[in-house]
């Protein structure tokens, strides 16, 4: 029976009409499992250094988001803030040996709702990122931790090196909260009524929209390998509010010392759409 199985089953999805738009959680888990294996094959092949669009290759034509119309309420949304760390010694200690200190250390905090039309693939996720220099000399955002609500996203992230844990998360325009399962605070971001003093006072990440581009992790199966996740092209902000953001962090959180007491920093609420460029996963050894 096994000898007659189709060798194309993992790429053709013969029983799923639309792999990118699953109808059930089972379909979502199946296609996600295929993606995990595809990336493992890439990670373990020393002859390959980059994976474009998750293995699909470069797009032949990129969409022009500026000319597209979008319905009200669509787009990923959440809060972003970045600030200089209060404790440089702790900052260095939190960076793996694969990374060196940048000229300007920056802590970036992001909490997002991946607001997809299909509720099956919708989930919330946070990022605690440290600006760093990778072995190739380029600056990147090392992802120290990544709160998430979805178990499937947790498993996929662990496979690639994202340090995810399950939390209870709330993401609204006014603020975001990330709570441990025991009810303790992990972090919160609150949009205040105060606008930025000036654009020069704000730290804006590379890629701008969403603040989630050019992220790096250490691959668990090869601690000498850094994986960098990035995308080209332009994203488009559909709704944006530049405000001062109040930051709170739980006392026992390992990176809490990076945030000054009663910290408020320039940040923003943003709802945006992406997908106008090719994504790339790059190996840095």
pLDDT value at residue 249: 98
Confidence of residue 152 (pLDDT cuts 50, 70, 90): very high
pLDDT tens digits for range 263-276: 999 999 999 987 67
CA dist., res. 143 & res. 107, Å (int): 10
Q: Where are the alpha helices (H) located in the chain, listed in sequence order? A: 9-12, 25-43, 88-94, 151-160
Residue 207 lies in a domain: yes
Confidence of residue 204 (pLDDT cuts 50, 70, 90): low
Mean pLDDT of the chain: 89
pLDDT at 207 over 60: no
pLDDT at 206 over 60: no
The total of other beta-carbon atoms located within 10 Å of residue 67's CB is 6
Q: What is the mean pLDDT of residues 76-88?
A: 95
Q: What is the mean pLDDT of residues 91-100?
A: 97
pLDDT value at residue 9: 40
Residues 87, 107: contact at Cβ < 8 Å? no
Confidence of residue 97 (pLDDT cuts 50, 70, 90): very high
CATH number, position 126:
2.40.400.10
Strands 279-284 and 50-52: antiparallel
pLDDT at 111 over 50: yes
Residue 7 lies in a domain: no
User: Which of 9-23, 75-89, 129-143, 185-199 is predicted least confidently?
Assistant: 9-23
Q: How far is CA 177 from the centre of its chain?
A: 17
Left, alpha or beta for 133 (phi > 0: left; psi -120 to 50: alpha)? beta
pLDDT at 98 over 50: yes
Confidence of residue 221 (pLDDT cuts 50, 70, 90): very high
pLDDT at 32 over 60: yes
> Look-up: residue for tokens 């250094």?
49
Residue 103 lies in a domain: yes
pLDDT value at residue 15: 64
Please give the residue range of the domain that contains residue 105.
55-284
pLDDT value at residue 188: 98
CA dist., res. 39 & res. 37, Å (int): 5
Residues 6+ away with beta carbon under 8 Å from 255: 90, 94, 107, 128, 144, 145, 249
Q: What is the mean pLDDT of residues 155-160?
A: 95
Residue 71 lies in a domain: yes
pLDDT value at residue 13: 61
Q: How far is CA 108 from the centre of its chain?
A: 11
CA dist., res. 285 & res. 280, Å (int): 16
Residues 144, 128: contact at Cβ < 8 Å? yes
**Residue 90 structure tokens:** 């702790």
CA dist., res. 35 & res. 156, Å (int): 9
Residue 122 lies in a domain: yes
Q: What is the mean pLDDT of residues 194-211?
A: 73
Residue 242 lies in a domain: yes
**Residue 54 structure tokens:** 């998750």
**Residue 100 structure tokens:** 């060196």
> Look-up: residue for tokens 């844990």?
165
pLDDT value at residue 60: 86
The total number of structural domains that make up the chain: 1
What are the CA-CA distances from residue 28 to residues 24, 117, 119, 152, 193 (Å)?
6, 15, 11, 9, 40
Residue 5 lies in a domain: no
Q: What is the mean pLDDT of residues 245-259?
A: 97
Residue 33 lies in a domain: no
């Amino acid at each position: 029976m096994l000898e007659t199985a189709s060798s194309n089953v993992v790429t053709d999805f013969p029983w799923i009409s639309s792999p990118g738009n699953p109808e059930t959680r089972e379909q979502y888990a199946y296609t996600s499992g295929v993606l995990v294996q595809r990336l493992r094959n890439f990670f373990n092949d020393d002859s390959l250094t980059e994976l474009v669009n998750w293995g699909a290759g470069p797009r032949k034509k990129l969409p022009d988001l500026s000319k597209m119309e979008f319905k009200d309420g669509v787009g990923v949304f959440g809060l972003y803030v970045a600030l200089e760390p209060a404790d440089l010694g702790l900052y260095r200690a939190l960076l793996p040996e694969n990374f060196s200190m940048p000229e300007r250390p920056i802590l970036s905090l992001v909490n997002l709702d991946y607001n997809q039309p299909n509720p099956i693939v919708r989930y919330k996720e946070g990022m605690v990122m440290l600006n760093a220099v990778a072995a190739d000399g380029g600056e990147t955002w090392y992802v120290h931790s990544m709160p998430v609500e979805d178990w499937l996203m947790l498993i996929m992230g662990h496979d690639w090196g994202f340090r995810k844990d399950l939390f209870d998360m709330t993401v609204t325009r006014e603020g975001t909260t990330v709570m441990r399962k025991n009810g303790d605070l992990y972090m919160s971001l609150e949009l205040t009524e105060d606008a930025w003093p000036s654009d020069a006072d704000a730290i804006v990440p590379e890629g701008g929209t969403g603040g989630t581009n050019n992220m790096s992790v250490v691959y668990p199966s090869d601690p000498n390998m850094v994986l960098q996740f990035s995308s080209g092209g332009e994203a488009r902000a559909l709704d944006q509010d530049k405000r001062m953001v109040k930051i709170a962090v739980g006392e026992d959180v390992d990176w809490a010392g990076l945030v000054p007491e009663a910290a408020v920093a320039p940040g923003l609420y943003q709802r945006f759409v992406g997908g106008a460029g090719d994504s790339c996963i790059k190996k840095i050894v």
